[in-house]
Amino acid sequence: MRSYSFLLIFIFLVSCSTPRALYDYDDQVNFSNFRTYSIYPELQTGLSQLDDNRLITSLESALRSKGLSPSENPDLYVNIYSEEFRESNQSRLGVGVGGGRGNVGVGISGGIPLGGADTYLRLTFDLIDAKKDALVWQAVVESSFDPNASPEIRQKKFDLIVAEALKGYPPRK
């Protein structure tokens, strides 16, 4: 029984840090016509050059698994931009005191914040029809992000983010 409670706690903690994605696309576009891609020529993600390389490595691998191949004359351009933001940690330790006599009671309590603010990364992936120069598909992914993580952990995080982003491509009508 004890191992089950540890498993439930582990699942709860892991599920809180998984990336979340929102998708939007042009419903008039036939996505089966797209077979090649290229990274947008003037890509400026807002990430460091090392994180850019990690992100592009993850992206190229995922796009190949979707059946798209790199090309100098692509059907799609891929543009990515990022936004880093911080949110206060909602975890609190509650402390309270109270007392009473007869039918009258008095109490006071307060919450002590645990930890500091959490850092999040919002990545927006745009797929642009290269021939029409029009946005045809977009994914916005939010995920917790540790700026002090090792290179291996960062690569795994970008792999997860890209997988979540491309889960919605091609869209199912």
pLDDT, tens only, 34-55: 999 999 988 888 999 999 999 9
Percentage of the chain surpassing pLDDT 90? 60
Spell 129-150 as b/e; 16+ CB within 10 A means b.
Answer: bbeeeeebbbbbbbbebeeeee
Answer positive or negative: Cα dihedral of 153, 19, 90, 81.
positive
Q: Give the Cα separation of 126 and 84 in Å (integer).
A: 18
Q: Residue 7: is its pLDDT beyond 50?
A: no
Cα–Cα distance for residue pair 125/166, rounded to 1 Å: 9
> Amino acid identity of 35?
R
pLDDT the model gives residue 8: 42
Q: What is the pLDDT of residue 10?
A: 44
The residue ranking higher by pLDDT, 9 or 84, is: 84
Give how far Cα 157 sits from Cα of 71, 88, 147, 161, Å. Answer: 27, 21, 11, 6
For residue 72, give the 3-state DSSP assignment.
coil
Q: What is the pLDDT of residue 12?
A: 44
**In CATH, which of 1.10.8.620, 3.90.1170.30, 3.30.160.670, 1.10.20.140 is domain 19-87+116-173?**
3.30.160.670
Report cis status (omega within 30 of 0) of the bond before 170: yes
